[in-house]
Structure 1
């Protein structure tokens, strides 16, 4: 308790915790949000991490900080602590700066996919190979009336999804990607597929409008994965299924630039915890082993509680 109170007894550290209760952020992003030098930010982060207030996740050369659970006393007082943070004079500006940092991530991703839409299928397949998994992913889709695929990309899965549901909706934030998907479904005669422009964090579909949501190699491109999972939970009907495939944790740092990856894959327990926190139950994760030169894949199925 004494260590915690000492760690929190600084206005800058209070602001840091307040920002990191909203999103996982890097040191570089935090320097911009608080308008302070990197050495000062790093010193404060070290104090908060040692006190168990924050945890750090290292991905390649980047370190992501977030509010942790390493201090039981902090966990106990956290609800009231978050309420008191709203009284900080810099609070509104800090929250606006966090939003700008996440928007910058989203904008970089959008620009990349608009630029590389026509070459995306070849680019992703050759630069970061994965073992075959699509049959197992499709096998997890339950019999429902409406399937929603987020991050539909060039629409490679749409023909198969149209065999599983009477109505298929594909959402992507890149107009260029949607045009590639539109050409694919038009040439294939898949009249049951409907394409919509939208963000993963603000899906263009009503509450409970889908019986199943598919996220195929999408979450590692998300600026804020927890927000995406919460939005998926919103659009699923009660008992609806989340079916997802994504990369297991890897160390290919170049994927950030060459494939616009926000995250270098995910740890199984981390992903399971996020999904459960978003309001899902019966979370199942299967790891598909990698062959030579490939990266393992995590297949997920969960049910909205």
Structure 2
């Protein structure tokens, strides 16, 4: 108990906790948010981590910090602590700095996809091929319900989704990607497919308006995956289904630059925690092992209530 209380008895460390309750960030990002030197920030992060206040997720040579529940006493204190953090004198500036960091992540991603829309499909197949999973993903999509695809890209999945859906809505934050998707939709004559420009964390749909949400190889590009899952929960009907296909954890750091990946895939446990926090009471996960020369894939099903067979 003494170690925990000592770790929190510092204004800078309280500011770090406040920020890291809102997302996962690197040391470099935190130094920019607080306007302090890296050695000072690193020392504070070490103290908080050793006290069980923070978790560290290592992805290649990058380390992401996030406030966690490794210390049961800290978890029990958190509701009262958050009330105090809301009164920190620097809080308004800190949250504005956090928003700028997330916007930089989002802007880098959008600019990359706008530049590479024409060759995106070929680029993915050549640089980071994945094990076969699409048949299993599509088989899980329910028939006769409105389907939302988040991060539609060039629309390569829209034709299959439109086969059994009542309506398909595709959302992407890249105008260039949407234009490619629109050409594909028009060429196929898909009248029940609608494309919308929007962010993953601010979907242009009403509450509880779709019966299924498909997120295909998109979450590893998201600046803030937990925020994406919370937003999906908002637009999903109470009896709806979330389907996620994404990469299992890997160590190919070059994807950050060449494919605009924010995360080097995911572990099942972290996805399960994020889904539960977003309000998905039931989840199932299937791990598709990597074939020769390909990356492994996680297939995730999430529901607010019970998952039907």
Query: Which residue of 1 is the match for residue 173 of structure 2?
Result: 173
Q: Residues of 2 paired with 1:78 and 1:282: CA distance?
A: 25
Q: Residues of 2 paired with 1:282 and 1:72: CA distance?
A: 24
Alignment of 1:106-255 (within 5 A): 106-255=106-255
Contact 1:144 1:212 in 2 (8 A): no
SS of 1:280's equivalent? coil
SS of 1:118's equivalent? coil
| Alignment coverage as a number of residue pairs | 305
Structure 1 residue runs of 4+, over 4 Å off? none
Query: Which residue of 1 is the match for residue 67 of structure 2?
Result: 67
SS of 1:132's equivalent? coil
C-alpha displacement of 1:277: 1.5
Q: Residues of 1 paired with 2:275 and 2:165: CA distance?
A: 24
Q: Residues of 2 paired with 1:291 and 1:60: CA distance?
A: 21
Q: Residues of 2 paired with 1:292 and 1:260: CA distance?
A: 24
Query: Which residue of 2 is the match for residue 259 of structure 1?
Result: 259
For residues 8-52 of structure 1, the C-alpha deviation after alignment (integer angstroms, 9 at most, x for no partner) is: 111110101111011111000000000000010000000000000
C-alpha displacement of 1:70: 1.4
Alignment of 1:53-64 (within 5 A): 53-64=53-64
RMSD across aligned positions (CA): 0.7
Query: Which residue of 1 is the match for residue 40 of structure 2?
Result: 40
C-alpha displacement of 1:178: 0.1
Contact 1:59 1:264 in 2 (8 A): yes
Q: For structure 1, which runs of at least 5 residues remain unmatched after alignment? A: none
1:87 matched to 2:90: no
Query: Which residue of 1 is the match for residue 290 of structure 2?
Result: 290
For residues 176-222 of structure 1, the C-alpha deviation after alignment (integer angstroms, 9 at most, x for no partner) is: 00000000011111111100000000000000110000000010000
Question: What's the TM-score, normalizing by structure 1?
Answer: 0.99
C-alpha displacement of 1:150: 0.4
SS of 2:169's equivalent? strand
1:14 matched to 2:14: yes
SS of 2:132's equivalent? coil
Q: Residues of 1 paired with 2:2 and 2:165: CA distance?
A: 57
1:269 matched to 2:240: no
Q: Residues of 2 paired with 1:105 and 1:234: CA distance?
A: 23
Q: Residues of 2 paired with 1:144 and 1:286: CA distance?
A: 25
Contact 2:246 2:297 in 1 (8 A): yes
SS of 2:118's equivalent? helix
Q: Residues of 2 paired with 1:246 and 1:76: CA distance?
A: 33
C-alpha displacement of 1:118: 0.4
Q: Residues of 2 paired with 1:176 and 1:301: CA distance?
A: 30
C-alpha displacement of 1:292: 1.2
C-alpha displacement of 1:304: 2.0
SS of 2:203's equivalent? coil
Contact 2:143 2:166 in 1 (8 A): no
**Range with greater deviation from structure 2 (279-288 or 258-267):** 279-288
C-alpha displacement of 1:281: 2.4
C-alpha displacement of 1:142: 1.4
Q: Residues of 1 paired with 2:303 and 2:21: CA distance?
A: 26
